[in-house]
Chains A and B, each alone.
Chain A
């Protein structure tokens, strides 16, 4: 079943995080959209839904999930999808996204974004799951390229996998520039090469975030400002993207909203400069 494409949004936004709820609700912030973590609002009632409803009155909202489990050989949980559909019907998001990963199987849910071997068999399973999810949600998904810490000998590579997945299912890409940097660095590869082969025409949203140095590799912690190498990678590729919604993603050590808005100013400036020079 085909679904209407999401209308591209060219703008700059931030994630909706608890310390900033009041500022987003009480004052119009200089953002073009807000991204909400779907599962935080897939609840029966109370303050979370009240907050998101009021945020939606002021801003376009993107729903971004972490538990769809789109890569599981068990398939996607129908109850989860129905609840997400209910939230989407209520909020009318600009789009719904999740991660190209799996979170659990056989009754176990890790709540971590686990890596997929990019094999033909995995592609068949993920494509089937994406079709099922899109049919329940009534809209195409955006899938985010993950940060990866494991290398699989078998497989076709992330860019080819995502390209074929988009072609087979009609899904789109949420391009996390930090994840490209983290994955490429962890696997000893060139981030520019990694990014170059992704299907950039399918990108509808960009995540810019920070990471940290773990004992052996970079870890996608979202607990720090966007570092210079990620800004530089973004600047080298933004001119190749069409209309995209760009956001700063911070999930830990959340600073005052002002600091994130300042980072967003930098994203706007880089984008403007690159496009002006092109």
Chain B
């Protein structure tokens, strides 16, 4: 057998925990253990707060099944486990906070070593024609709508405090993750802020954001809501620049 064919057969057996033909089962057991234990350890490291929330046994059981179904393809372990968020969402449809905690774990880890970007200082938050201003964010920014208080639970777990009981927010809220300098950050959002951020990331101008907000807020409150969001995003290091 040529080397390529032998390596393909070996790799297929390794991923299934089997022993290829003419290979010593004792030596193969070392490689199977190395393969599986490293991937489970990788998931435990990436999803550290989700481990705390679910407990070791439940998490490890899901991780082991995930490893069986998701052989890695990238050269970097940093890329392994992206689909584990969806895996847990599917596994815990009635426990919405589980998938949302996992989403925070995953994106905070990605932000940790994501692209560098200088955040715009608050003093540069000025424009002659706000209607036309578009907002460029730091490249590590990610957000999602959420339905639970996962942000508060994650924060408590990080601080080794008793986590609050799960609370479901009717109508949904949001969570955002980004990196300011070298430090990954996260925050919860009101539904108004989530709407503003969704529009801004889609390329809407500040004026277009305000116009959209007018469909469910009085006109005299719209600039305050949108301006409050932009001010907070800038102060927290989320904004890279304003396109004027």
Q: Kindly specify which of B34-42, B125-133, B149-157, B231-239 makes contact with the partner chain.
A: B34-42
Which residues of A have CB within 8 Å of B158?
A: none
Q: A108-B71, A217-B27 are in contact. Are A125 and B3 (CB under 8 A)?
A: yes
Contact of B76 among A42, A102, A148, A214 (CB under 8 A): A42
Residues in A whose Cβ lies below 8 Å from that of B176: none
- Chain B proximity mask over A25-62: 1 for CB below 8 Å, otherwise 0: 00000000000000100111111111000000000000
Q: Are A119 and B3 in contact (CB under 8 A)?
A: yes
A164 at the interface (CB under 8 A from B): no
CB-nearest residue of chain A relative to B30?
A: A149
The yes or no answer to B74 lying at the interface (CB within 8 A) is yes
A219 at the interface (CB under 8 A from B): yes
User: B114 — nearest CB in chain A belongs to which residue?
Assistant: A44
Q: Does B215 contact A (CB under 8 A)?
A: no
Q: Which residues of A contact B26 (CB under 8 A)?
A: 149, 215-217
CB of A205 closer than 8 Å to a CB of B: no
Are A44 and B113 touching (Cβ within 8 A)? yes
**A-chain residues with CB within 8 Å of residue B182 when the two chains form the complex:** 46-47, 50
The reply to whether the CB of B2 lies closer than 8 angstroms to some CB of chain A is yes
| B45-88 contacts to A (CB < 8 Å) | 71-78, 80
The winner among B12, B27, B38, B42 for most chain A CB atoms within 10 A is B27
Minimal Cβ-Cβ distance residue in A for B11: A108
Which residues does chain B contribute within 8 Å of A150, judged by CB atoms? 23-24, 27-28, 31
CB pair B74–A46 under 8 Å, yes or no, is: no
B14 within 8 A of A: yes
In-complex Cβ contact of B29 among A72, A74, A125, A215 (8 A) = A215
B residues in contact with A149, CB < 8 Å:
24, 26-28, 30-31
6 CB-based A-B contacts, threshold 8 Å: A46-B179, A73-B4, A74-B4, A112-B35, A148-B27, A150-B27
Per CB-CB distance, the 3 closest pairs between chain A and chain B, nearest first, are A73-B4, A45-B116, A149-B27
